[in-house]
A and B are shown apart, each in its own frame.
Chain A
Amino acid sequence: MHSVAILTISDLWVERGESDLLNGLSFSARSGDVVHITGANGAGKSTFFKALLGLLPILSGSMTFNGDSLTQQRQNFLNNTLYIGHSAGLNGALTVMENIRWYLPKCSEKIVEQALSELSLGAFAETQLHALSAGQVRRVALVRLWLSEQQIWLLDEPFTALDQGLISMLEAKMAAHVASGGIVILASHLPLAHLSYLQVEL
Chain B
Amino acid sequence: MTYLSFFKAECLTLFRSKQRVVNALLFFVLVVVLFPLGIDPSADFLAPAAGGIIWCAAALSVVVSIESLYKESYADGTLTQLVVSGLSLPWLILIKVGVYWLAMMLPLLLLTPVFAQMLFLPSDSLLVLLATLLIGTPGLFLIGSIGAALTVSLKQGAMLMVLLILPFYFPIIIFSTAAIKAIQFGLPYGGLLALLAAISLLALVVAPVMTSLCIKASVR
Where the two chains meet, the residues of A that have a C-beta atom closer than 8 Å to any C-beta of B are 50, 53-56, 75, 78-79, 81, 83, 85-94, 98-99, 101-103, 105, 128
Select which of A55, A92, A94 is within 8 A of B84 by beta carbon.
A55
Would B220 and A94 count as touching, CB distance under 8 A?
no
Cβ–Cβ contact A94 & B9, under 8 A: yes
Interface flags for B60-99 (1: CB within 8 Å of A; 0: not) read: 0000000000001100111011011110000000000000
Instruction: Determine whether B1 belongs to the interface, using a CB cutoff of 8 Å to chain A.
Output: yes
User: Do residues A56 and B220 form an inter-chain contact, with CB atoms below 8 A?
Assistant: yes
Known: A102-B1, A105-B1. 18 other contacts (CB 8 A): A53-B84, A54-B84, A79-B86, A87-B76, A87-B80, A88-B77, A89-B77, A89-B78, A89-B80, A91-B78, A94-B12, A98-B9, A101-B5, A101-B9, A102-B5, A102-B6, A105-B2, A105-B4
Min C-beta distance of B153 to chain A, whole Å: 13
Nearest residue (CB) in B for A106 is: B2
Interface contact B80-A55, CB-CB below 8 Å: yes
Q: How far is the CB of B79 from chain A (nearest CB, A)?
A: 9
In angstroms, Cα B78 to Cα A88, docked, is 8
Measured in the bound complex, the distance between the Cα atoms of B6 and A102 in whole Å is 6
Pair B81/A78 contact, Cβ less than 8 Å:
no
- Name B75-126 residues within 8 Å CB distance of A: 76-78, 80-81, 83-86
**B216 — which chain A residues lie within 8 A by C-beta?**
55
Residue of B nearest to A80 (CB): B86
Most chain B CB atoms below 10 A, which of A55, A93, A102, A105: A102
**How far, in angstroms, from A20 to B76 measured CA to CA in the complex?**
28
Pick from B8, B17, B86: contact of A78, CB under 8 Å: B86
Q: How far is the CA of A54 from the CA of B84 in the complex (A)?
A: 8
Contacts of A83 in B (CB 8 A): 80-81, 84
A87 partner residues in chain B, CB cutoff 8 A = 76-77, 80
Contact of A90 among B2, B4, B78 (CB under 8 A): B78
Chain B residues with CB under 8 A of A128: 16
Chain B positions within 8 Å of A93 at CB level: 12-13, 16-17, 72
A81 touches B17 (CB 8 A): no
Minimum CB–CB distance for B211 against chain A, Å:
16
The contact string, 1 if C-beta is below 8 Å from chain A, for chain B 121-157, is: 0000000000000000000000000000000000000
- B194 CB contacts on chain A under 8 angstroms: none
Write out, one digit per residue, whether chain B residues 9-22 have a CB within 8 A of any chain A CB (1) or not (0): 10011001100000
Contact status B77-A102, CB under 8 Å: no
B-side contacts of A92, CB under 8 Å? 72, 76
Is residue B219 within 8 Å, beta carbon to beta carbon, of the partner chain?
A: yes
Question: Given A50-B220, A101-B8, A102-B1, A94–B77 Cβ distance below 8 Å?
Answer: no
Q: Please, which residues of chain A bring their CB within 8 A of the CB of B76?
A: 87-92
Report B123 CB to chain A, min CB distance, Å. Answer: 40
Say whether B84 contacts A91, CB under 8 Å.
no
Which A residues are CB-close (under 8 A) to B219? 55
Nearest opposing residue in chain B for A93, CB measure:
B16
Report Cα–Cα, A81/B85, bound state, in Å. 8
Q: Is the CB of B77 within 8 A of A105?
A: no
Bound form: Cα–Cα A140–B111 in Å: 41
Q: Please report the C-alpha to C-alpha distance between residue A85 and residue B83 in the assembled complex, in whole angstroms.
A: 13
Cα–Cα distance between A151 and B1 once the two chains are bound (Å): 15
A53 to B40, CA, bound (A): 59
Complex Cα distance, B87 from A79, in Å, reads 8
Contact B77 A85 (CB under 8 A): yes
Complex Cα–Cα for A53 and B81 (A): 11
B220 to chain A, nearest CB (A): 5
Could you tell me the distance between the alpha carbons of A89 and B81 in the complex, rounded to whole angstroms?
6
| Minimum CB–CB distance for B216 against chain A, Å | 7
Report the Cα distance A88→B216, complex, angstroms: 18
Scan B36-74; emit 1 where CB is below 8 A from any A CB, else 0: 000000000000000000000000000000000000110
- Whole-angstrom distance between the alpha carbons of A56 and B17 in the complex? 32
Q: Determine the chain A residues whose CB is within 8 A of the CB of B85 once the complex forms.
A: 78
